[in-house]
Amino acid sequence: DAGVIQSPRHEVTEMGQEVTLRCKPISGHNSLFWYRQTMMRGLELLIYFNNNVPIDDSGMPEDRFSAKMPNASFSTLKIQPSEPRDSAVYFCASSPGQGATYGYTFGSGTRLTVV
Amino acid sequence: KQEVTQIPAALSVPEGENLVLNCSFTDSAIYNLQWFRQDPGKGLTSLLLIQSSQREQTSGRLNASLDKSSGRSTLYIAASQPGDSATYLCALPRNRDDKIIFGKGTRLHILP
């Protein structure tokens, strides 16, 4: 298996532009998680899906952030409009089951820079 | 509310030494605990997953222990090598049907 695949690896955009991050989970995993990592705050969970349904989006910072999972093999995280404080590394992770029982596999992340 | 703490934030040791990394948590009613490694600019690699019913897990030179009653887990690295230099994070779920939360990690530097 190729693992969790994220694209792009790096994204540089201007403030106010729309940014879309993409994730392909491991085949057969039915839980998917979006995390954001910064030096100040460490790893923070933004949202997670189970069987393509958003279960908890309480970590999404504000309405500028949205996430979708149209099918079991694809998810997007969109920021519109982007701001410099959104600069961070965004990770996607997947798990075979709901919640924490089976452990998590992470993608390599997308490093986002908003100038 | 579950909180995860890792101390120290950074650690430097000479190559060849055995070392222990610490992780503490405030709510002992956990379901499992996972240790990850993160290399600079890279993603997270899972090292060990300990279920709540287990006391320890081993993989090669790594051994992770879990003591729920005291709210602690340790990651033991034997015969450290420069390639072990990375940030090590522990993570655990808030509850069984929930996502995991992370400690801030320990940045380990093995001196050649």
Q: What is the pLDDT along chain B (112 residues), one digit of tens a residue?
A: 788 999 999 999 999 999 999 999 998 888 889 999 999 888 899 999 998 899 999 999 999 999 999 999 999 999 999 999 999 999 987 666 667 889 999 999 999 9
Helix (H, G, I), strand (E, B) or coil at B38: strand
Question: Among residues B104, B34, B31, which one has the least CA distance to residue A41?
Answer: B104
How many other CB atoms are there within 10 angstroms of residue A106's CB atom?
Answer: 22
What pLDDT is stored for residue B7 in this prediction? 92
DSSP state of A85: G
Alpha-carbon distance A109 to nearest alpha carbon in chain B (angstroms): 6
Alpha-carbon distance A62 to nearest alpha carbon in chain B (angstroms): 20
Residues 1-60 of B with CB under 8 A from A: 31-32, 34, 36, 41-46, 49
Contacts B95 to A, Cβ<8 Å: 99
